[in-house]
Structure 1
């Protein structure tokens, strides 16, 4: 990413005059452009947005208006999808654990499309929700190149069934009265190498030839922000055409990451054996650097003085609460603001109340005005579920 769009950057300056930091801000035009780029590359694919990347209702409803469906991984996300206006057939629920209580809740809510993740999952879904429309997730057992916590297609991952177990899983599902639409593979997240996808496609082609025919081929998501979709799409589209199936995709971070920033203010510098810039955003607001070692670009929203190199240190009493390392920035004054980029995915959705930290305000720039997607959480709300005296 080369930096903030000048129009969005100017809008952020106006937001700083009205709202307390830290806050998340999203550029609607950026999300729409990413949806357009994906549709241009995969014109015949059905797109299911991985809503865990960013579940704000104001964003989900706009995706619905653009014809994008949703991929959920919890009953709570299914509830949110329905609240946003999506139909059962427009929501796919994946995930490795579906308890009887969760399946009973789905029966009351309306059963979405379901992804089966194991032999036990197939048996349980068949027992509790016979007649459901399902896909079987495959673990292709491939050495994909990404962070260990993001590599869902390796054989040691907890996700999916290995290729040699596909036949047994299909037998369980079909014997239990489930309508198996097809197979599903998701290799991991933040994948930048087309050869990883090609290896996954080859595994799926062999399985479809052995166990088909099916109606659907779900190739998941995981597209890195720098991945060349034009180099990859013809192979995916060609595979679907050869197999005579409908192609489904599940992008998440690809659609929303670059649309979002976490805006924070600087509150001083300090030196130990390293040079730190102290800010009011931290791991409770943005967990990815600590969890995945994710590197987020940072752009100053001030002019500043001579450049210095800093580590960006958050307020939590944790040594790991470092949002970025080795940043060269103009020397700020107290209260100057920074934008932490590529924060539109898994930023707010992973935020927590650790250290009794209220979750931050979230804003959407429509191109004309700021729309509040979620109010800043009040501190008082953190106590509502606890019993207190007096």
Structure 2
């Protein structure tokens, strides 16, 4: 559920007209609903009620400081995958003991930054990383709390580019070798084992792969404890999917996921950490764009928008679907037109949808891309020297720009020309 609804024939973000926002900030722009973000965080928190747990929002889904502060103030932890994301979480007021550092390529500089600033745990992804972290921790005179990300070789049955739990994926240590890795960690004075980490992919629409992976983690937990390792936390990753198409099959709900976690792992008396991103942020955001032209092709109509693949890359990168709706609600019974919906970037890949039925559109009409809050603004670029587009947060009847659109001058001033040219 989200709070982007039609009222009197016009799309609203909570209690603010989308047209009012675009008159103030221009198009294209991202609009986020604070009420939706808070609701989705609470769904996960309530789903794990009765267990010791921490919901760590996956910062990579939508990393704006205002979004992080909103969630952090509700009690969320943060899952970060870079030094920059760590600094964002800290700048939003999230304490180090609620921040988990994931990612397969942690550098020495990032390790130093995080160890000095405070961290809940490192999720280790490889033996070279483990040894480097031990060295850095000893140099700083601290002990780093760690889990090992195990790769359970479970097919998440999701898009190949966002699957992370199969043996051919780059993530984690094969679960078959976890025992020897934990044995080596026990000999390293700069590291302290606190648990096990697993994450099998994103946009999962079935609980069965989760259950298969978590059963393997449960078995590993008991084996490691028998060998003398202190396993007090289980980091279960994120990845629960959202319905990008309103008429699609319903992905599992957080409450169903929580029940499965308790059934599979509840007997271990471990603190549970989860790292949702998409389900918290995805349906909490829309991308709003204005129609530039309606172009008649030989056998189709093109709806040419002022948003492009650099603003929302998911359709070009993942063949991803987003429902696209007019900001002004069509009258009942009006026959739609069929369009290929495209952007102005000089790439054939700058296509959002083909053969999509939509209300008859004219230049100047606005459309909204639903479910654009996750992996939208964070993956945007300035390709074709198009400035990054603004982000807006709505709460009730208020809205604020939480990232401004840079001017051309500001964009150009980031470059420099050497004196010798």
Smaller-chain TM-score bracket: over 0.9
Return the match for 1:42 from 24, 43, 48.
48
Contact 2:44 2:255 in 1 (8 A): no
Aligned to 1:256: 281
CA distance in 2, matches of 1:289, 1:313: 11
| SS of corresponding position for 2:173 | coil
CA offset at residue 2 of structure 1?
9.0
Runs of 4+ in 1 over 6 A off after TM superposition: none
Give the direction of change, closer, same or farther, for the CA distance of 1:290–1:156 in structure 2 (3 Å limit).
Answer: same
- Name the counterpart of 2:72: 64
Report whether the alignment pairs 1:309 with 2:338.
Answer: yes
Q: Which moved more, 1:244-253 or 1:295-304?
A: 295-304
Check whether the contact 1:138–1:163 (CA below 8 A) recurs between aligned residues.
yes
For residues 146-168 of structure 1, what are the alpha-carbon distances to aligned partners after superposition, in whole Å with 9 as ceiling and x for unaligned? Answer: 00011001111100011111122
**Conserved 8 A contact 1:11-1:365:** no
Equivalent residue, structure 2, for 1:383: 412
Kept after mapping to 2: 8 A contact 1:119/1:172: no
Shift of 1:312: 1.1
Which of residues 374, 378, 384 is equivalent to 1:355?
Answer: 384
* TM-superposition CA deviations, 1:288-338 (whole Å, max 9, x none): 111111101111013567411112101110111111222111111111000
SS at match of 1:129: helix
Deviation at 1:243, TM superposition (A): 0.9
Distance between the aligned counterparts of 1:199 and 1:107, measured in 2?
34
- In 1, distance between residues paired with 2:20 and 2:171? 44
> Aligned to 1:122, which of 122, 130, 147?
130
Corresponding residue of 1:198:
211
Gaps of 5+ in 2: 7-11, 243-250
Is 2:98–2:119's contact at 8 Å kept on the other side of the alignment?
no
Do structure 1's residue 277 and structure 2's residue 303 form an aligned pair? yes
CA offset at residue 71 of structure 1?
A: 0.4
Aligned residue number for residue 27 of structure 1: 33
Q: Structure 2 length normalisation: TM-score?
A: 0.88
Give me the whole-angstrom Cα distance separating, in 2, the residues matched to 1:96 and 1:151. 15
Contact 2:288 2:367 in 1 (8 A): yes
Written as runs of structure 1 = structure 2, the 5 A alignment for 1:70-81 is 70-81=78-89
Q: What is the aligned counterpart of 2:156 among 144, 151, 159?
A: 144
Cα distance in structure 1, aligned partners of 2:114 and 2:74: 26
- The size of the alignment, in residue pairs, is 390
- Contact 2:61-2:281 within 8 A present in 1 as well: yes
Q: Distance in 1 between matches of 2:283 and 2:360?
A: 25
C-alpha deviation, 1:228, in angstroms: 2.7
| 1:127 and 1:176 in contact (8 A); partners too | no
- Give runs of aligned pairs for residues 172-321 of structure 1, distance below 5 A: 172-177=184-189, 178-212=191-225, 213-225=230-242, 226-270=251-295, 271-303=297-329, 306-321=335-350
Separation in structure 2 between the aligned mates of residue 207 and residue 272 of structure 1, nearest angstrom: 61
- Which range moved further: 364-373 or 222-231? 222-231
Q: Which residue is equivalent to 1:166?
A: 178
Residue of structure 1 in register with 2:13 after alignment: 8
Question: Alignment RMSD, CA only?
Answer: 1.9
Report the equivalent of 1:18: 24
Relative distance call for 1:2 and 1:41 in structure 2 (3 A) is: closer
**C-alpha distance in structure 1 between counterparts of 2:80 and 2:45, whole Å:** 21
Partners of 2:3 and 2:36 within 8 A in 1: no
Of 335-344 and 172-181, more deviation after overlay is shown by 172-181
Indicate conservation of the 8 Å contact 1:122/1:169, yes or no: no
Are residue 345 (structure 1) and residue 379 (structure 2) matched?
A: no
Q: Which moved more, 1:161-170 or 1:257-266?
A: 161-170
1:217–1:247 CA contact under 8 A, matched in 2? yes
Question: Which has the higher mean CA deviation after the structures are superposed, 222-231 or 56-65?
Answer: 222-231
**Cα separation, 2, equivalents of 1:272 and 1:91:** 54
Q: In structure 1, the residue corresponding to 2:265 is in which secondary structure? A: helix
8 Å Cα contact 2:3/2:33 also seen in 1: no
* Native 8 Å contact 2:285 2:370 kept in 1: yes
1 CA distance for matches of 2:235 and 2:45? 16
| Aligned with residue 147 of structure 2, among 135, 147, 156 | 135
Check conservation: 1:220, 1:249, Cα contact below 8 A: yes
